[in-house]
Chains A and B, each alone.
Chain A
């Protein structure tokens, strides 16, 4: 019997996956066709959604960009007459249009994403799911588990990069009758969607990782703190939790052992700072999510004052694999100090935006050009933004840099949780720094003065610069405020908030200077610093720009060169987009 799998992650659904799924369902029912229809998570190829995979006799055919209109033909030709529609297939035995995207990846965290039905615990079990926790409960002591994780070299994938095994050891060493394990699923970095995809595509792997951690540190209660903006992830987690309780994988005396664990889901309420562990715990306790001073660290005094271990989604998803395959195999991947793989969310000006998992040590250029297919519209690669609002921009000239926690930190950016935003020549770096400052300024909880007020002042200066009103002293003040905010803030948010400004100042200082001294935006992006005009050479007088202009700034007769009145122009760029002859010039 053929099996039809439709990709229904958030990306798949927004590309129309649900409509495709329903059409398959209707047609199979109507024509009384004997085929299994199933949903699956995102396989990483967000740029090819909606994806449909048809499995037949251990052969697999992956259809891309499936629309409702294509369903009929796929059913008629492939399902009923065994005649795959090769034009629409991107991957099968004989076709491999996306070979580069896949062959350069090593999938550990994403091992099941896009493969199994995330709402079926049996499909997870069939992929050796929950074998690791049983193996641990039957054969390993708690100390051995911690030792294995330390030796694997796994470091916190939420951005901190602290040794996961050491973190567990600290919590293990704390004496208390009650301990907690928390999964941080408050993925707040704009441009990052790794954790969401893992939770949507393979929630059980995260639960199993949490169970192993709980056993190792001696916790009997767990929480998953998930962003409320991820409704689908929460829904699938709830289904997964229900299935675990039903099978007895959670609750009392798990797998007949003396180990008991309860896991609950706490929905966040929209505050970026709650990704910080002490703020996250305050939020679980029902309070305002304001960070506190460490020490004491959560491993000593965490949730409700009890020893607590917090790891993020991706970290937990690695754990069962390490247990089953051995720490040696994990440590064999990567660089000297950064082991294993890292999942990245590729987005921005890149051809193949989606989710990729690559071994540590791969270079930025390899990820962008080999895996991601290069820059959209074949424009010039300018920089890559890593680590979201806490990170920074790495210029194209450093594209041969190896992805490794310490190498990246050396550039001034951070590995972060894995958002990788590709920028091309049309991106203004000052504007990008302003964008991130606007974000952190909004999300600052307000506890530390420098973070609360300093980010606000920095934002005002950046707004002034992009408005063409920058002063000579501005760069100096920005640098001064940056160092002070970094040193006088309590938590990661404030300590890293100036990074986007500092890195752009380090690598793209001339862009700041062009804005301030020449009143020019080299990327032609800041509206206050550009002017539009119409080229006498190219304009054919078609009138398209006249129609597009909201203020009537463009005049001219048909078939004569048009004129643009800069006094009336509001620089909305509509004429620039409308003209098919490249006759509107941006300067």
Chain B
């Protein structure tokens, strides 16, 4: 799997959180721990599972079971931009399928995958809860509603060019 070295700074953050939880004598801390691990790394690397397993004395297999049960947890790193397409009922009856098709065609990936340039990861969510704007997608923390084919293409283009400008800045 992934060769991840737990760097000291992140390890410290995680240790700190574990410490805090132990101090408060809270049981049931595993999900919270995994959430903070994912916040730090963007996903849950195998090394981190082993590390948490030692600390909280829960077998790695059980932790793996919890991770794969909940859809929020990821075992693979994500692209730079995360597109979440809403599959709620209101979106479904207002053409979410077309939206998904356009996104898949444009990005050349299916749900759950990351584009080759690591720019986009396409995910689906059960409902974003803004049904009045259906069909809806979220790119990172921004919601885009009343989607049409053109609007999707424009949005992707904007995020792509953002990516290019950032890359140029990095070079400079």
Contacts and interface: CB of A to CB of B under 8 A. Distances in A.
Report whether chain A binds chain B.
yes
B28 A286 contact: yes
Interface string B120-142: 00000111111111101000000
Interface in B88-130: 88-90, 92-94, 98, 101, 105, 125-130
B73 interface: yes
Interface in B62-84: 65-66, 69-73
B27 A11 contact: no
B125 to A, nearest CB: 6
Interface in A186-225: 187-193, 196
B158 interface: no
A289 B69 contact: yes
A439 interface: yes
Contacts of B40: none
A87 B72 CA distance: 45
A572 B105 CA distance: 12
Contact of A191 (B69, B127, B145): B127
B35 interface: yes
A196 B105 CA distance: 33
B155 interface: no
B89 A270 contact: no
B36 to A, nearest CB: 11
Interface residues of B, number: 40
Nearest to A189: B127
Contacts of A450: none
Interface string A70-102: 000000000000000000000000000000000
B60 interface: no
A354 B132 contact: yes
User: Which of under 10, 10 to 19, 20 to 34, or 35 or more describes the interface residues of A?
Assistant: 35 or more
Central interface residue in B65, B129, B130, B131, by most chain A CB within 10 Å? B129
A193 B126 CA distance: 12
A230 B143 CA distance: 13
B129 A230 contact: yes
Interface of A: 10-11, 13-15, 46-47, 49, 187-193, 196, 228-230, 266-272, 283-289, 304, 345, 347-349, 353-354, 385, 388, 419, 421, 423, 427, 432, 435-436, 439, 443, 445, 550, 572-574
The 9 A-B pairs at the shortest CB distance, nearest first, are namely A347-B131, A269-B70, A46-B132, A14-B143, A191-B89, A270-B71, A347-B90, A286-B28, A286-B30
22 contacts: A10-B130, A13-B143, A46-B130, A188-B126, A191-B88, A192-B127, A229-B126, A229-B128, A267-B32, A269-B31, A269-B35, A283-B31, A286-B30, A288-B65, A289-B70, A347-B131, A348-B93, A348-B131, A348-B134, A427-B93, A432-B93, A439-B87
Interface of B: 27-32, 34-35, 65-66, 69-73, 87-90, 92-94, 98, 101, 105, 125-134, 136, 143-145, 149
